[in-house]
Amino acid sequence: MSYALYKTQSMTNPKIQKADGKLGIMVVGLGAVTSTFITGVLMVRKGLAKPVGSMIEYDKIRVGKGSAKRYLSYREIVPITELKDIVFGAWDVYPADAYRSAMYAEVLKEKDIEPVKDELSAIVPMKAAFDKNFAKRLDGDNVMEGKTRWEMVEQLREDIRTFKRKNGCARIVVAWAASTEIYVPYNESVHGSLSALEAAMKADDKEHIAPSMCYAYAALVEGAPFIMGAPNTTVDIPAMWELAEKTKMPIAGKDFKTGQTLVKSGFAPIICTRCLGLSGWFSTNILGNRDGLVLDEPANFHTKEVSKLSTLESILVPEQQPDLYTDYYHKVRINYYPPRNDNKEGWDNIDIFGWMNYPMQIKINFLCRDSILAAPLLLDLCLLIDLAARAGRYGIQRFLSFYLKSPMHDFTNHEIPVNHLFQQYIMLKNAIREMGGYEPDEEID
């Protein structure tokens, strides 16, 4: 079966189901990103904060041309769930509730957490499907003990059903915002088909079935779209594409595009558009939160490295411009540095060349706040994938690549992912237009 355009449905003038009832957002991992995300939404609902960074809340898209041209917000074009209708749930290896997690993370100031303390304290994480071999630096005890991979799936399915029933949710979205797992390479005999994946889960194959795959499988079978916010293999395999088709559910991934890769996917187009050459691009980071701790393990870092290195390959393409992009050197490093906590700093040292091959240098120093950048991104992804499900779209949602470091694509059919930030933005806008019944009118070329 070819998955080149994999069954992703888009309809002009569709009948999208209204965003009626509550939307349950269930997040794997209640650390810095998730606690910042939840706290922010709760504060915005009380009118005590602004959702800065959310495309849904601030961006506008042109619809129509000439005298009929208008610029509308996403909510004016398509029916998106209101923030007041969101209910939060989570799984985590640590038992701390969302309030204690937010305080411990030290991303937000106490004055920005206390006004929603009661709501945060009520969000207590369910036991995580966890295997220490996939994240050796984590030592939490809020985990499912002694369960096989298939038993993990069954427990997660029950968790989703129970949460949905207790909270009166009409719909559920599941998102992974937990730590990066060790790299699980694609294995066709296990990951190539749904039947093979299910057989491996039932055989308790702990080598090829990561815990994150159990979450994704459980979500899709329970009729919940799934978002992979880390560079894990998880849904980037034909078996999960097949399950997404079978359940008619949308999937998106991989890895939230927050700091350095956001800069890279936006700056590399300047180099290629200006027809300048590239000799090398060295990227290094320091980070001190739980994500940094996990990535200090070489096997976990390799998963992130693969994700980060892929960004330039489809933007600065040697085959298209051999004079400019042949044999450039690309290196990525992440260093765990506890004093910085969630305040990540990234350095990009870029060696370019111009007229008559004369060398030049560009240096970018981005002092960012990882969870502050990730929180609105997670909000948009959850709301947009819920919209996609109500619009009848299923399979890989390429229009969400704008938010992700390593966009999912059909590698089995030699599909090239779109990493160019502004091409991704065109994909995003055209998907919103189509779902709102407007004609797409910008081409990706």
Average pLDDT (408-416) is 89
Taking 70 as the threshold, does the pLDDT of residue 304 lie above it? no
Average pLDDT (324-343) is 90
Q: Give DSSP secondary structure letters for 133-202.
A: GG-TT---S-B--S--HHHHHHHHHHHHHHHHHHTTEEEEEEEE-SPPPPP----HHHHSSHHHHHHHHH
CATH of domain 260-367: 3.30.360.10
Region of poorest pLDDT, from 75-89, 171-185, 302-316, 323-337: 302-316
Taking 80 as the threshold, does the pLDDT of residue 5 lie above it? no
Tell me: the pLDDT tens digits for 241-251?
Answer: 999 999 999 99
**Full-model pTM:** 0.91
Indicate the residue type of 429.
K
Handedness of CA 148, 151, 153, 156 (dihedral sign): negative
SS3 107: coil
CATH class, 22-256+371-435 region: alpha beta
Same fold, 22-256+371-435 and 260-367: no
pLDDT of amino acid 303: 66
Average pLDDT value over all residues in the chain: 92
Taking 80 as the threshold, does the pLDDT of residue 278 lie above it? yes
Region of poorest pLDDT, from 85-89, 139-143, 290-294, 422-426: 290-294
C-alpha–C-alpha distance, residues 98 and 377, integer Å: 19
Confidence of residue 136 (pLDDT cuts 50, 70, 90): confident
Indicate the residue type of 237.
I
Question: Which residue ranges make up each domain of the chain?
Answer: 22-256+371-435, 260-367
Spatial CA neighbour of 314 closest among 440, 185, 423, 184:
423
Taking 70 as the threshold, does the pLDDT of residue 195 lie above it? yes
Average pLDDT (322-345) is 90
The residue with tokens 């308790």 is 204
pLDDT of amino acid 201: 98
pLDDT of amino acid 308: 60
Percent of all residues in the chain with a pLDDT value above 90, rounded to a whole number: 79
